[in-house]
Amino acid sequence: MADCGAADGPVKKDDIVRAKNEGKELTKEEKQRLRKEKKHQKKQKDEKRPSERAKEKKPVAPSQPVATQPPTQKAPTVLPASAPIPVPASGAPSHSSPAPSPADKPAKSRAEQKAERRARQDADRASKQQSCFSSSKTKAPPSELNPVVKRLPEHVQVDDPAVVKRLAKKLERQQIPLRSDYGYKVSLFSHLHQYSRKAPLTQQLSIPSTVIHPSIVRLGLQYSQGIVVGSNARSVALLHAFKQVIRDYTTPPNEELARDLVNKLKPYISFLNQCRPLSASMGNAIKYIKKEISNIPSQFKEEEAKTKLQKCIDCYINENVVLAAKAISKYAIKKISDGDVILVYGCSSLVNHILCEAYDKSRKFRVIVVDSRPRLEGREALRRLVQRGISCTYVLISALSYILPEVSKVFLGAHALLANGYVMSRVGTSQIALVARTFNVPVLVCCETYKFCERVQTDSFVSNELDDPDDLMVTRKGKTQLENWHDVSSLGLLNLVYDVTPPDFVDLVITDLGMIPCTSVPVVLRVKNLEQ
């Protein structure tokens, strides 16, 4: 018992050393590994319970070597414990200091195990915090590590029935209806959800919605019907809905606002995910709001807490959307000179903002708006620019290579910037970047930092969004050619929403932190995480 603990010890120490050298990206894996080991040890303990009873009555001697182990590991733990480094709060309440428990209950082998584990985790945390300040970019290939499988998100495993069942169970528990997939899916993308706009999720909800807050239902409807489109708009609308949820929230008796409110938000987030997969900016906003809620000190009264949260939300939106747009425009305007011909794609709220600001600062330029089916968002961009007075040309993406010789710069918006420098944006953006590179036209991507995401992706297949395939049907002169596409068994309609552009095609990323190259995204992410 104590032996098995000791046996695990050296193995773990090796891993810890390896982890020290491997930068922060692997902390999640480590945590998972530790969790797994905990479970494993629990299982072993349960098996060994009968035999433990016999060993329990051993004299204090065996506990001594165990007790000596924690003190040796206590030394490094004491140091960081004194320094005010924020330790993940969820772990804190369950971890008391390692010293008292083994000394108090030498007979109980479980406590010894727990103590060892706690000590080891504290040591890990200490080593992690020490190493994070001096991170090296050397990454050992994942196969060398303990084989911990990083769990894939559920929304990219739709063709796995076990995952779908798990999702259905989770939704049932949260009392949210499950939205069923629609139509034949092209085989390369059969691992993604595909929903129909004509079958909204509200069909299965009761009309005065009691389970889900009405503003969340409204938001979900607006997402699924495409009334709120665009990364910024979706995050702002999400936070607005959360404000209303918080306003109408009352803490049930015997519950703490910090914990209960987060649990209340979970089914809402599942519901919104069912209406339309969450965007990276929304994910970051949710992380922020959850952190703010759990950091509410328990002595705050309900009203105080609610006003504080509302202020936090306003602050977040102001900083990350409004002020960031101003900062980005400032930098971007430096890059726009008189006589420029600027190419934009689709309708990016940020790029439109930049161009309008540049026009107001009396820069002389003209814009070419490139558009693509089926969304034809470029028409809205065209309307907004022409309304301001900017002279525009409008082409479809098929005319891109014909129009590019005229272009001096390309400004693109982004849905998210991935950790390996790839730009995730509306489908078609990678084509624009590719052709622009061929013509040696500089490509500038404008993106706020709150859209930076820790995901890594090198192709557009793994994680994407499939829109309603019926959008591809168009009626011309009274005839809809694809009307009966369901009947043709070998025909599949694919309506992709996003694609990823490699960093080689992007010359500059303009963010509110300044103008950075695409490959500096991980640095920004790291700096942001440190600030938190």
Contact residues toward another protein (CB under 8 A) are 200, 202-203, 205-210, 214, 217-218, 221-222, 225-230, 232-234, 236-237, 239-240, 243-244, 247, 317, 321-322, 346-347, 349, 377, 379-381, 383, 386-387
Give 395's strand partners.
370
Q: Least distance from C-beta 319 to another protein, angstroms?
A: 13
Q: Say which residue the tokens 């050397």 belong to.
A: 138
- The amino acid present at 378, given as its one-letter code, is G
User: Which amino acid is located at 208 in the chain?
Assistant: P
Minimum CB–partner distance for residue 305 and another protein (Å): 17
Measured from the CB atom, the residue of 115 and 239 that comes closer to another protein is 239
Cβ proximity to another protein: between 62 and 177 the closer is: 177
| Shortest reach from residue 181's CB to another protein, in Å | 20
Nearer to another protein, 171 or 350 (CB): 350
Amino acid (one-letter) located at 250: T
29 or 380: CB nearest another protein: 380
Distance of CA 469 to the CA centre of its chain: 26
Q: Per the structure block, which two tokens stand in for 319?
A: 């900083």
Q: Which is nearer to another protein, 394 or 461 (CB)?
A: 394
Q: How far is the CB of 307 from another protein (least distance, A)?
A: 12
Q: Which is nearer to another protein, 153 or 226 (CB)?
A: 226
Q: Which is nearer to another protein, 317 or 358 (CB)?
A: 317
Separation of alpha carbons 116 and 172, rounded Å: 39
Q: Are 473 and 480 in contact (CB under 8 A)?
A: yes
Best CA proximity match to 44, nearest among 95, 91, 8 = 8
Give the shortest CB-202-to-another protein separation in angstroms.
5
- C-alpha to C-alpha distances, 89 to 79, 92, 340, 426, nearest whole angstrom: 19, 5, 52, 38
Residue 217 or 258: the one with the smaller Cβ distance to another protein is 217
Q: How far is the CB of 37 from another protein (least distance, A)?
A: 46
Tell the smallest beta-carbon distance from residue 42 to another protein (Å).
44
**454 vs 471, which CB is nearer to another protein?**
471
- Please say which residue, 322 or 523, places its beta carbon nearer to another protein: 322
Look at the chain and count its residues: 532
Q: SS3 for 151? A: coil
Report the alpha-carbon distance of residue 397 to residue 417 in Å, rounded. 23
Name the 3-class secondary structure at 133.
coil
User: Two tokens at 5?
Assistant: 């603990």
Under 8 Å between Cβ of 441 and 505: no
Q: How far is the CB of 523 from another protein (least distance, A)?
A: 28
State the nearest-atom distance from the C-beta of 46 to another protein, in Å: 46
Furthest CA-CA distance within the chain: 93
- When the beta carbons of 194 and 281 are compared against another protein, the nearer one is 281
Structure tokens at 330: 């400032």
Residue 476 φ then ψ, to 5°: -120, 130
Name the residue among 166, 268, 267 with its Cα closest to residue 223.
Answer: 268
Residues 280 and 308 sit within 8 Å (Cβ to Cβ): no
Contact 364, 432 (CB under 8 A): no
Q: How far is the CB of 203 from another protein (least distance, A)?
A: 5
User: Shortest approach of another protein to residue 280 CB, angstroms?
Assistant: 16
Specify whether the CB–CB gap between 125 and 80 falls below 8 A: yes
Buried b (16+ CB within 10 A) or exposed e, 152-181: eeebbbbeeeebbeebeeebeebebeebee
